[in-house]
Structure 1
Amino acid sequence: MRSKTSLFRSAAFAAMGALLLTSCGGGGGGGTSTPAPTPTPTPTPTPTGGLYAPPAAEALTAVDVERVLAQAISEAQARGLPSVIAVTDRVGNVLGVFRMNGARATATTASAPNGVNIDAQNVTFPAEGGAIAKAVTGAYLSSGGNAFSTRTASQIVQEHFPPAPTTVGLESGPLFGVQFSQLPCSDLAARFGAAGAAALIGPKRSPLGLAADPGGLPLYKNGVLVGGIGVMGDGVYGSDPNILDVDNDPEEFIALAGTRGFEAPAAITADKIAVDGTTLRFSDATFAGVMSSGGASFASFNGTAGNLVAVIGYANAAITAGIAYGSEASGIRASTAAEFSNRDAFVLTDGSGANRYPIRAGTDGASNSAPLTAVETRAVLEEAFAVMSRARAQIRRPLDSRAQVSISVVDTHGAVLGIVRSPDAPIFGTDVSLQKARTAAFFSGAQAGAELSANTSADVRQFVGAMRTFLNDPAALTGAIAFADRSGGNLSRPYFPDGEVGRPHGPLSRPIAQFNPFSTGLQSALIIGNLGQHLGFVSGASPTDTPARCTTLPNVAAGRNRLQNGIQIFPGSVPIYRGNQLVGAIGVSGDGIDQDDMISFLGLHNGGARVGGIGNAPKAIRADTIVVGVGAGVRLRYISCPFAPFLDTAQQNVCEGL
């Protein structure tokens, strides 16, 4: 049976009760390399559109939502587990939350392994928050090419991949850290309660970020992703540390019963997708084990088996129809020709026709003598989109599908200079691509150490000293080194080199004795106050919600800091330089991490070649010049590009020497 590990932080809640190595190889933590020759680039056509088929305009109706809820309620009754059940649409709008009579009011995370509870360990929060987070996760991690669940999320965020007693010593999950995205404090995420055209705008936030507790599944209608269902019933919000057994998880069976008629297409479920030779997990529950018939109506349950409930900050006590993804009202739509030249491009919108993040110049002229121009921003976004359009996807079916991602560009202040998506990119990548871009810009900047050292939290401040000691560099975090997210991710693992048991933890991580997937180190420490404030608001204990700006870093402009939606610690971003001067960063998310790395790195390289003046960091200052330890030390990684990366050429080693 499952042993659930915990997700968030108790201390903060007391008050609320790749190395490019000058080459192209490798994945996670270690290794050395010799310089590779600079190749002659092979020109390839730039795709201009028509390569992607946008998802059909499908949405859950109010009757559909009632059916999903009724099927789940019936299964919960059959299993004797009164539960809280939530349904969302694809962009995170909560369409209904049902609390069954006798359902636990709260859920609790487990303690730290050593009993010293840091971040969100041993925390109690409203069960509705867990159900919504699971539904959001099922919807956000999935697409028309892949169906992922919270069990899938559990597999890819732990300290070893795949998580099992026999895999100790392997690197951490490929999306290690993604659980701290879609945060309730994110400035990208829309919020429930807006009036008029903005009411159903997405992407919406999640109360707890992304969930790793089985019991969250995507919903499909006529083969099109339309939302997710989440179930919170057993009072334990955690993850599955052993994928070698098959769990009999009542929450997962209840969620699966709810998907009857809205099941994920069998050809794209996670168990048909492999990462680094490991097949992912989708659900340990099967329809053969479902106990209920699913024929009961919602009307027969509403008011007798329980009731629809309001959730502060997320939903009224009512059923709402979902919104069709891709429509203006959904918050994500096809771009206009004026907004983006490639006709496959999608953008975020405000519901009234305006692009939320139009391409623009850098806002950081007060501290940066050579800000990015709008022409440069456009070139980087367009060239990265072109690389994506040629790239072979890792996590999509059928095989040899094109990669689909979200791409963000920011300046050195973390201000968004443009965001673009492919039509069917998973929603989670929107927020994550922005996190990645901001993270690369922040840690490559001259101010990183000073701003962290000035934080009101002693826990946050201590990471600066740990970093400088670990790297044996008293000047670390002062702008001398260019950090990609793969580099920072190397330093954010509970073992360094990544996964190797018995090694010390990275300086931005928690020690393994007090680590779990949702107490990751600096990443969680930066936002734990926001998360505590928000859960107090959701529970009704506090009238004040967290502001739409994560972290307590100092402002760099009125009402804005550099890390407005938190940091991210898995690969897919690089900083942007003008010569030796940092001017911004690009972040990519939505496919395999090597694909994300390649799209950001080559997109920036090609964009710089197109307009001149900007490009990747000079090789001499990239993080892969850092060797930790003496003798046979461990070199940090910068980026890693995939094998056989493109669909239109057999070219290999496409990042080598750049």
Structure 2
Amino acid sequence: MLRKHASTLLTATAFLLASCGGGGGGDNAAGTPAPGGGSSGGTTPPAAPQSLYAVPAPEALTAAEVAQIVAQAAGEAQARGLPSIISVVDRVGNVLAVYNMNGAAPTLRIPTPPGGGPSFDAQGLTGIPAAAGAIAKAVTAAYLSSSGNAFNSRTASYIVQENFPRAPGKTTGLESGPLFGVQFSSLPCSDLNRRMADGTIGPKRSPLGLSADPGSMPLYKNGVVVGGIGIMGDGVYGADDDATKNDVDDNEEFISLAGATGFEAPEEIKANRISIDGTTLGFVDFGVTRANLKSNPAAPPSLGGLGGYVAIPGYYVGGGPIAGTPYATAASGYRLATAAERTAGSAIDSPDALLVVDAAGNNRYPIRGGTDNAEVAQPLTAAEVRAIAEEAFKVLGRARGAIRQPLDSRMQATISIVDTRGQVLALQRSPDAPVFGTDVSLQKARSAAFLSSPKAAADLLASGSADVAGFVQKTRDFLGRQDALTGNIAFSERPIGLLARPYFPDGQVNTANGPLSRPIASFSPFSTGLQSALIIGNLAQQLGEVAGGAAVPRRCTTLPAFDASGGNRLENGLQIFPGGEPIYRGTTLIGAIGVSGDGIDQDDMVSFLGVFNGGVRVGGVGHAARDMRISAIPFRQANNAFLPYVQCPVAPFLDTSEQNVCEGK
């Protein structure tokens, strides 16, 4: 998930072709490794895989505990004179409570970008129920956290904006946050994230995606994350523009802090104990301490007369608190793969593989071959998919995590593989990977496959949105390639992200925006560019559901359908930070892989080496040829430097001192 480069200049360090495979294609002219060798090559049978991870204990909030959390938060809101909407969710996003205090603002407002841009009002983002913001904040705290890290919506505010770290004046001259774009994940329209009608099965959707508006806390029991609390009181759903001063969200943060009393994250894993290139992340604002609470959470008020539990269509039935569901049990939507599934080939051969399952406990995404035989002469086979997924999981198990405490903890993440239509061919997780990475890994895989596809330009032009269609010519002009987005250029997630920044090179002052971004004057975390343009209309429809309208389809974009099923290639939206690579058979795109959970360089490495090692293992598949990669295009805007294709960590493994692990591949 998180990793940030120390350099603020897009020089040889940031745009290097070599070092970590930035433009290298190995010695194979087609970019596909020759059979034999690699991590599973040779004639010696591989040893049986050993378990490397512990499954979190099956902790969950009881209904009485949810009521206690709500009462503690309401007491602080009352003491501060800020009637609020209080939401509590479990780790997989089931909404356990939405409590509306008397006098709480019924709707929220999203700040407009300073320089305008496509109007939120014109796109239907007005009159948004404030409960949507409270739920989104609670989901964010739960989804970004694990047993090794405790994050919340203030942490998200640090890492999703156009500069990192946050400081006065939006700190021009610094690169974008490492999770730039993650706010547009776990969207309410996602085909992966579930709905209230699906029962307790997760992961659930969020009405506003992930939130960068402070006012939430993760909730823990015995060191295990069991959910999150989110507060909406001031009526403004924004982000913290300046990490050096107190801001108007402090009251909401105090209320969430009081609500989390007795369910606090362990001190040693809070975001303010985790740094990215020497910058400590945010967890609470200055002065937000328990000593400065205005209430006594040990003696919360009676909720009688303060407000009531309110039903939120599509999210919460109302009537009172609900017990949470223990994570990593079949009822939660996640469980370990069985030995039979691993032997039969519907899951990778690892005792640590956690699957996403349906209400009957069945694997939602068993390993299979590509579904795109109408468009691809030789689609990915199930054996090839399994090889790539298993090799990626092996790299994951050896890698040092970037955000987990204690230091030198093993990396945890989700791995997704798709075909050229974005159809899921495999989805596997390590046991304690943050939940947000489930949806994000799939977004990354689909994004790399889509922008590398021969269909990309045609689909964008046929989306029905002039805003979306306009990004095609912007990209072609920027790259100096009028054939861009027609399958002739391989796009991995790292360069996709750099092209989606409001400064190009990333963080530079007085430069034009990347072609997939809004200009900086029109940019905001809610209006990033192509990413937001693709889903904004559907998001408005989904928010109408929260206000009591009809349920809408599980599909986030209006791209044309690839067949009579109505499916399209970006059903859960576009993602724009590193950790995804297209997969090729020779010069033909056949799919993509996405990884998310524990450091963007780590995500990049697992996806990149997974494809390479999987190709070595089975032969015939691998990375794009060197001259097809976007890293082969010199950029006039950066003194003819080159975009990186992948950036891997220095000395990333726990079991060896190996370095430059992606070089030449």
The interval holding the TM-score normalised by the smaller chain is over 0.9
Q: Does the CA contact (< 8 Å) of 2:120 and 2:126 recur in 1? A: no
> C-alpha displacement at 1:288, in angstroms?
1.4
For residues 281-331 of structure 1, the C-alpha deviation after alignment (integer angstroms, 9 at most, x for no partner) is 111221111111113457x214x1000000011001121100000111000
Hey, what does 2:17 align to over in structure 1?
Answer: 21
For residues 492-516 of structure 1, the C-alpha deviation after alignment (integer angstroms, 9 at most, x for no partner) is 0001001101010011100111111
Hey, what does 1:97 align to over in structure 2?
Answer: 98
Q: Does the CA contact (< 8 Å) of 1:622 and 1:638 recur in 2? A: yes
Q: Does 1:623 align with 2:630?
A: yes
User: Which of 535, 541, 561 is the matching residue for 1:527?
Assistant: 535
Hey, what does 1:544 align to over in structure 2?
Answer: 550
> C-alpha displacement at 1:101, in angstroms?
0.5
> Counterpart of 1:419 in structure 2: which amino acid?
L
Q: TM-score, normalised by structure 2?
A: 0.91
Q: Does 1:202 align with 2:202?
A: yes
For residues 133-159 of structure 1, the C-alpha deviation after alignment (integer angstroms, 9 at most, x for no partner) is 000000000000000010000000000
Task: Give, in whole Å, the separation in 1 of the partners of 2:180 and 2:273.
Answer: 21
Hey, what does 1:87 align to over in structure 2?
Answer: 88
- Residues 57 and 454 of structure 1, relative CA distance in 2, 3 Å threshold: same
SS at match of 1:220: strand
> Counterpart of 1:657 in structure 2: which amino acid?
G
Alignment map for 1:341-352 (pairs within 5 Å): 341-352=349-360
Q: Does 1:240 align with 2:244?
A: no
Alignment map for 1:567-582 (pairs within 5 Å): 567-582=574-589
> C-alpha displacement at 1:546, in angstroms?
2.7
Alignment map for 1:167-316 (pairs within 5 Å): 167-194=171-198, 199-247=199-247, 249-284=250-285, 285-296=288-299, 300-302=302-304, 304-316=305-317
Q: Does 1:507 align with 2:515?
A: yes
Aligned length: 627
- Residues 410 and 43 of structure 1, relative CA distance in 2, 3 Å threshold: closer
- Gaps of at least 5 residues in structure 1 are 1-17, 27-32
User: Identical aligned pairs, as a percentage?
Assistant: 60
Alignment map for 1:390-539 (pairs within 5 Å): 390-539=398-547
> Counterpart of 2:525 in structure 1: which amino acid?
P
Q: Does the CA contact (< 8 Å) of 1:444 and 1:482 recur in 2? A: yes
- Residues 279 and 42 of structure 1, relative CA distance in 2, 3 Å threshold: farther
Hey, what does 1:595 align to over in structure 2?
Answer: 602
Moved more, 238-247 or 520-529: 238-247
Hey, what does 1:4 align to over in structure 2?
Answer: none
> C-alpha displacement at 1:34, in angstroms?
9.7
User: Which of 314, 330, 333 is the matching residue for 2:332?
Assistant: 330
SS at match of 2:197: coil
- Residues 47 and 181 of structure 1, relative CA distance in 2, 3 Å threshold: farther
Hey, what does 1:369 align to over in structure 2?
Answer: 377
Task: Give, in whole Å, the separation in 2 of the partners of 1:395 and 1:119.
Answer: 34
> C-alpha displacement at 1:616, in angstroms?
1.2
Task: Give, in whole Å, the separation in 2 of the partners of 1:585 and 1:244.
Answer: 40
> C-alpha displacement at 1:51, in angstroms?
0.9
- Residues 41 and 287 of structure 1, relative CA distance in 2, 3 Å threshold: farther
Q: Does the CA contact (< 8 Å) of 2:37 and 2:616 recur in 1? A: no
Hey, what does 1:562 align to over in structure 2?
Answer: 569
> Counterpart of 1:372 in structure 2: which amino acid?
L
> C-alpha displacement at 1:41, in angstroms?
8.5
Task: Give, in whole Å, the separation in 2 of the partners of 1:607 and 1:342.
Answer: 15
> Counterpart of 1:234 in structure 2: which amino acid?
D
Hey, what does 2:7 align to over in structure 1?
Answer: none
Task: Give, in whole Å, the separation in 1 of the partners of 2:559 and 2:116.
Answer: 29
- Residues 305 and 289 of structure 1, relative CA distance in 2, 3 Å threshold: same
Aligned Cα RMSD in Å? 2.1
> Counterpart of 2:57 in structure 1: which amino acid?
A
> Counterpart of 1:306 in structure 2: which amino acid?
G
Task: Give, in whole Å, the separation in 2 of the partners of 1:106 and 1:400.
Answer: 44
> Counterpart of 1:400 in structure 2: which amino acid?
D
SS at match of 1:184: coil
> C-alpha displacement at 1:183, in angstroms?
0.4
Q: Does the CA contact (< 8 Å) of 1:141 and 1:426 recur in 2? A: yes
- Residues 19 and 342 of structure 1, relative CA distance in 2, 3 Å threshold: farther
Task: Give, in whole Å, the separation in 1 of the partners of 2:581 and 2:62.
Answer: 42
- Residues 116 and 341 of structure 1, relative CA distance in 2, 3 Å threshold: closer
Task: Give, in whole Å, the separation in 1 of the partners of 2:26 and 2:246.
Answer: 46
Q: TM-score, normalised by structure 1?
A: 0.92
For residues 507-534 of structure 1, the C-alpha deviation after alignment (integer angstroms, 9 at most, x for no partner) is 1100111111110000000001110001
> C-alpha displacement at 1:22, in angstroms?
3.6
Hey, what does 1:147 align to over in structure 2?
Answer: 150
> C-alpha displacement at 1:124, in angstroms?
3.6
Task: Give, in whole Å, the separation in 1 of the partners of 2:654 and 2:211.
Answer: 33
User: Which of 381, 387, 394 is the matching residue for 2:389?
Assistant: 381
Q: Does the CA contact (< 8 Å) of 2:58 and 2:327 recur in 1? A: yes
Task: Give, in whole Å, the separation in 2 of the partners of 1:441 and 1:344.
Answer: 27
Q: Does 1:358 align with 2:366?
A: yes
Task: Give, in whole Å, the separation in 2 of the partners of 1:485 and 1:81.
Answer: 42
Task: Give, in whole Å, the separation in 2 of the partners of 1:444 and 1:256.
Answer: 45
Hey, what does 2:59 align to over in structure 1?
Answer: 58
- Residues 47 and 628 of structure 1, relative CA distance in 2, 3 Å threshold: farther
Task: Give, in whole Å, the separation in 2 of the partners of 1:369 and 1:131.
Answer: 48
- Residues 322 and 618 of structure 1, relative CA distance in 2, 3 Å threshold: same
SS at match of 1:217: strand
User: Which of 126, 131, 136 is the matching residue for 2:139?
Assistant: 136
Task: Give, in whole Å, the separation in 2 of the partners of 1:95 and 1:509.
Answer: 37
Q: Does the CA contact (< 8 Å) of 2:72 and 2:258 recur in 1? A: yes
> Counterpart of 1:350 in structure 2: which amino acid?
D
SS at match of 1:586: strand
> Counterpart of 1:155 in structure 2: which amino acid?
Y
Hey, what does 1:125 align to over in structure 2?
Answer: 128
For residues 546-589 of structure 1, the C-alpha deviation after alignment (integer angstroms, 9 at most, x for no partner) is 31011011111312100010010000000001111110000000
> C-alpha displacement at 1:227, in angstroms?
0.1
- Residues 118 and 572 of structure 1, relative CA distance in 2, 3 Å threshold: farther
> C-alpha displacement at 1:117, in angstroms?
4.5
SS at match of 1:193: helix
Hey, what does 2:8 align to over in structure 1?
Answer: none
Q: Does the CA contact (< 8 Å) of 1:156 and 1:176 recur in 2? A: yes
Task: Give, in whole Å, the separation in 2 of the partners of 1:532 and 1:520.
Answer: 16
Q: Does the CA contact (< 8 Å) of 1:20 and 1:638 recur in 2? A: no
Hey, what does 2:165 align to over in structure 1?
Answer: 162
Task: Give, in whole Å, the separation in 2 of the partners of 1:345 and 1:605.
Answer: 21
Task: Give, in whole Å, the separation in 2 of the partners of 1:488 and 1:314.
Answer: 33
Task: Give, in whole Å, the separation in 1 of the partners of 2:639 and 2:310.
Answer: 59
Alignment map for 1:64-75 (pairs within 5 Å): 64-75=65-76
> Counterpart of 1:550 in structure 2: which amino acid?
C
- Gaps of at least 5 residues in structure 2 are 1-13, 41-45, 342-346
- Residues 34 and 441 of structure 1, relative CA distance in 2, 3 Å threshold: closer
> C-alpha displacement at 1:654, in angstroms?
0.3
